[in-house]
């Protein structure tokens, strides 16, 4: 296999692509978490968000395949990001031993954070596609009742682990991007690191608490639907809603 010349720009280009895809996924997750937590406002709010993503307010009717397309696009972006990130994983037992030895000797916060990046990234390899396939294959099964019943009956363990993995991975990723690409000429580096680290933990705490409250809201609503698993939510103001033939969920 031809080795890449030492002055090749490809490693740097791939690093930039990894940072850009990571930034896009982290920002997507922020928007996603706010949209999913609309259930905390009301069932009507979550219903409106689901209809928005089905294109109802643009095309006057629902096209659930738009959600499938979004899920497929996010999956492709995750696969690109994961493939680029695999370059950074230790590649042999020896490399793992060397890294873990270094981490345990140094106790350097950013080295430990990188290890958590690897562990949460590894978990996301397997857990994110499980959720995305559900969204891709059953895009019409999103709504206050359909989502709540899914969370209550099957998905809450997946979402609980996924929530911690993605929020920690995203916040650590944004912190490392800020350290790597941003500069604050007037601020001494140790002060900058400390403030960025505080911001990182603040973001993680905020999104994990929001995610846990949201998950609990779906779970509790789902527990009231045990006997009517196929029940679909229809907002009170039926007149503003699309007719049954236009609404799938």
Contact flag: residue 124 with ligand HEM (CB under 6 A)? yes
For the stretch 103-123, what's the b/e string if a residue is b when 16 or more beta carbons lie within 10 angstroms of its beta carbon?
eeeeeeeeeebbeebbebbeb
Instruction: Report whether 161 contacts 234 (CB < 8 A).
Output: no
We find the least distance from the C-beta atom of residue 93 to ligand HEM, in angstroms, to be 29
Could you tell me the smallest distance in angstroms from the CB atom of residue 45 to ligand HEM? 13
> Smallest distance from the beta carbon of 87 to ligand HEM, in angstroms?
20
Site size with ligand HEM, rule: CB under 6 A: 24
Residue 135 found at the interface with ligand HEM (CB under 6 A): yes
Residues 6 or more apart in contact with residue 149 via CB below 8 angstroms: 222, 225, 229, 231
36 contacts ligand HEM (rule: CB under 6 A): yes
Stretch that binds ligand HEM, among 98-106, 190-198, 208-216, 228-236 (CB under 6 A): 208-216
User: Contact between 61 and ligand HEM (CB under 6 A)?
Assistant: no
Residue 48 as a binder of ligand HEM (CB under 6 A): the answer is no
**Please, what is the end-to-end C-alpha distance for the chain in angstroms?**
53
C-beta closer to ligand HEM: residue 35 or 192: 35
Which strand (E) or helix (H) includes residue 200?
helix 189-223
Please state, in angstroms and rounded to a whole number, the distance separating the CA atoms of residues 143 and 175. Answer: 33
Instruction: Figure out which of the listed residues 71, 85, 168, 172 binds ligand HEM, where binding follows CB under 6 A.
Output: 71
Considering only 81, 155, 176, 200, the residue that binds ligand HEM (CB under 6 A) is 155
Measure the CA–CA gap between 68 and 66, rounded to whole angstroms.
5
Element (H, E) at 132: helix 109-137
Structure tokens at 12: 């740097």
Q: How far is the CB of 231 from ligand HEM (least distance, A)?
A: 14
Query: To which residue do tokens 């680029």 refer?
Result: 84
CB of 28 to ligand HEM, least distance (A): 7
Residues between 165 and 204 that touch ligand HEM (CB under 6 A): 166
Cα within 13 Å of Cα(173), Cβ side: 26
Q: Does 225 bind ligand HEM (CB under 6 A)?
A: no
Phi-psi region of 107 (alpha: psi -120 to 50; beta: other; left: phi over 0): left
Residues in touch with ligand HEM (CB under 6 A): 32, 36, 67, 70-71, 74, 124, 128, 131-132, 135, 142, 147, 150-151, 155, 159, 162-163, 166, 211, 214-215, 218
């Amino acid at each position: 296999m031809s080795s890449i010349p030492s002055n090749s720009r490809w490693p740097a280009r791939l690093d930039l692509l990894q940072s850009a895809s990571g930034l896009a996924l982290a920002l997507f997750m922020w928007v996603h978490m706010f949209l999913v937590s609309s259930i905390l406002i009301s069932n009507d709010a979550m219903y409106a968000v689901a209809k928005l993503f089905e294109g109802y307010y643009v095309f006057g009717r629902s096209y659930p395949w738009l959600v499938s397309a979004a899920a497929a696009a996010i999956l492709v972006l995750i696969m690109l990001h994961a493939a680029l990130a695999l370059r950074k994983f230790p590649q042999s037992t020896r490399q793992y031993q060397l890294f873990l030895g270094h981490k345990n000797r140094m106790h350097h916060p950013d080295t430990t954070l990188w290890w958590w990046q690897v562990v949460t990234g590894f978990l996301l390899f397997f857990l994110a596609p499980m959720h995305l396939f559900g969204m891709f294959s059953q895009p019409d099964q999103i709504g206050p009742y359909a989502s709540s019943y899914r969370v209550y009956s099957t998905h809450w363990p997946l979402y609980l682990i996924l929530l911690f993995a993605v929020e920690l991975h995203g916040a650590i990723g944004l912190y490392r991007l800020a350290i790597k690409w941003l500069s604050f000429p007037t601020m001494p580096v140790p002060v900058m690191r400390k403030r960025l680290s505080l911001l990182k933990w603040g973001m993680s705490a905020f999104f994990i608490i929001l995610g846990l409250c949201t998950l609990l809201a779906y779970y509790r609503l789902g527990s009231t639907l045990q006997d009517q698993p196929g029940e679909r939510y229809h907002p009170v103001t039926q007149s503003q809603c699309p007719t049954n033939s236009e609404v799938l969920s």
